C-alpha cells in the first residue's frame, strides 16, 4: 500500500532532533539554506525540515515542500506560548484556525489580522487532520489538549498585557511565530494542513520565565503526538 507524502515543518533544532531519532532517513536535500530530510517516519513517507523562526522562513519552506517535494499534506508541530488562562505548560493546542496577529491594515478599514484583498480572515485547518490530531493527543493523558485559534506574528510575546490583548481580541489560545504563514501558503495551494503546538510557557505569566524550563517537555509531547498521529493519516484523501 502506498501512502501520501507528508511534509513535517518545525521551527527549531530541538524540535527536529526528536523526530530524527525515529526517522529512517533516505537522503537530505538542501534548499534555500534549509535541510529537507526525506525518509520514513512510523513507516510512512515524510519530508521533515526546520524552517527557522519567523513568518518569511516558514512561508518559503512551505512552498518548497509543495512545489519541489510535492507533499500531499502538511503537519506543523512545535512549541508555542499559551494565551488562554486555563492553558498550562505541557498542554497541547491544536489549531482549528490561524491568524497573523501582527498584520494591521486598520487605516484601510480592515480588521486587524486581515490580509489585503484576501477573501478569508482566518485560515481553517483540514477537518480530517484536525480530528486525527485530536485523537492522537488523547493518547498523552498527562497533559490536556485544546482545540482553537492560534495566532502568529514576528514577535516573541513575553508581555502579559500583550498576551491578554491577543487572547481577548482574537479569541486565541496560543501564539507563536510561524503557523499562520504556513497556513496561508497551504490555503493558496489547496494543500491539507494541521498545526499542533505544545505549550512551553504561558505568556500571561511572563514567557521569559518559563520557556527554557518547559520547552523540552513541550517538544517531547509534540513528538509523541506526531508518532501517534502519522499512522492514523492513511485514511486522509491525498491531493493530486
Residue 228 lies in a domain: yes
Q: Mean pLDDT of all residues in the chain?
A: 89
Confidence of residue 206 (pLDDT cuts 50, 70, 90): low
Per-residue pLDDT band at 112 (split at 50, 70, 90): very high
**Is 59 domain-assigned?**
yes
Q: What is the pLDDT of residues 137-173, one digit of tens each?
A: 888 887 889 999 999 999 988 888 888 999 999 999 9
Assess if residue 102 is contained within a domain: yes
Question: Quick one: average pLDDT of 201-219?
Answer: 67
Q: Which domain holds residue 180?
A: 6-235
Answer whether residue 147 is part of any domain: yes
User: Which residues in 99-117 are b (16+ Cβ under 10 Å) and which e?
Assistant: bbbebeeeeeebeebbbee
Domain total of the chain: 1
Angle among Cα 42, 47, 48 to the nearest 5 degrees reads 85
What is the rounded average pLDDT of the residues 83-111? Answer: 92
Over the stretch 28-46, which tens digit does the pLDDT of each residue have? 999 999 999 999 998 899 9
For residues 103 and 181, the answer to whether their CB atoms sit within 8 Å is no
| pLDDT for the residue 208 | 53
217 or 89: whose pLDDT is higher? 89
**CA 5 – CA 11 distance, rounded (Å):** 20
Phi, psi of 224, deg, nearest 5: -60, -45
pLDDT classification of 3: cutoffs 50, 70, 90 = confident
pLDDT of residue 235: 56
Task: Give a yes or no: residue 240 inside a domain.
Answer: no
Q: Which residue has the higher pLDDT, 195 or 143?
A: 195
Instruction: Say how far apart CA 126 and CA 25 lie, in whole Å.
Output: 27
Whether residue 176 is predicted with pLDDT greater than 50 in this model: the reply is yes
Q: Which residue has the higher pLDDT, 205 or 7?
A: 7
Catalytic residue of the set 14, 15, 119, 176: 15
Task: Please tell me the predicted confidence (pLDDT) of residue 171.
Answer: 95
Read off the C-alpha cell for 215: 520547552
Residue 23's DSSP bridge partners are 41
Do the Cβ atoms of 100 and 181 come closer than 8 Å?
A: yes
Confidence class for position 211, pLDDT limits 50, 70, 90: low
Q: What is the CATH number of the domain that holds 205?
A: 3.40.50.1580
Instruction: Kindly tell me if the per-residue pLDDT of 240 is higher than 50.
Output: no
CA distance 27 to 126: 29
Confidence of residue 174 (pLDDT cuts 50, 70, 90): very high
Decide if 115 is inside a domain: yes
Whether residue 201 lies in the annotated active site:
yes
Q: Does 93 reside within a domain? A: yes
Candidate list 96, 122, 201, 210, residue with the active-site label:
201
At residue 238, the pLDDT reads 43
Residue 1 lies in a domain: no
Is the pLDDT at 189 greater than 90, yes or no?
yes
Give the per-residue pLDDT at 168: 93
* pLDDT, greater one: 79 or 194: 194
- Mark whether 15 is an active-site residue: yes
Task: Identify the band that residue 236 occupies on the pLDDT scale cut at 50, 70 and 90.
Answer: very low
Amino acid at each position: 500500500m502506498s501512502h501520501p507524502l507528508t511534509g513535517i515543518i518545525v521551527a527549531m533544532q530541538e524540535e527536529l532532533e526528536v523526530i530524527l531519532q525515529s526517522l529512517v532517513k533516505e537522503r537530505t536535500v538542501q534548499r534555500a539554506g534549509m535541510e529537507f530530510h526525506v525518509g520514513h517516519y512510523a513507516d510512512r513517507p515524510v519530508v521533515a525540515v526546520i524552517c527557522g523562526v519567523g513568518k518569511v522562513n516558514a512561508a518559503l519552506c512551505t512552498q518548497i515542500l509543495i512545489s519541489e517535494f510535492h507533499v500531499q499534506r502538511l503537519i506543523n508541530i512545535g512549541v508555542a506560548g499559551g494565551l488562554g488562562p486555563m492553558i498550562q505548560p505541557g498542554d497541547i493546542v491544536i489549531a482549528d484556525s490561524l491568524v497573523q496577529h501582527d498584520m494591521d491594515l486598520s487605516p484601510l478599514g480592515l480588521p486587524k489580522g486581515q490580509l489585503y484583498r484576501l477573501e478569508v480572515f482566518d485560515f481553517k485547518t483540514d477537518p480530517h487532520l484536525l480530528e486525527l490530531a485530536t485523537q492522537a493527543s488523547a493518547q498523552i493523558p498527562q497533559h490536556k489538549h485544546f482545540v482553537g485559534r492560534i495566532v502568529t506574528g514576528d514577535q516573541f510575546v513575553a508581555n502579559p498585557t500583550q498576551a491578554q490583548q491577543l487572547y481577548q481580541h482574537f479569541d486565541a489560545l496560543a501564539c507563536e511565530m510561524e503557523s499562520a504563514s504556513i497556513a496561508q501558503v497551504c490555503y493558496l495551494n489547496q494543500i491539507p494542513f494541521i498545526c499542533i503546538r505544545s505549550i512551553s510557557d504561558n505568556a500571561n505569566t511572563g514567557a521569559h520565565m518559563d520557556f527554557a524550563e518547559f520547552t523540552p517537555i513541550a517538544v517531547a509531547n509534540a513528538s509523541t503526538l506526531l508518532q501517534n498521529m502519522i499512522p492514523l493519516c492513511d485514511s486522509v484523501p491525498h491531493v493530486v
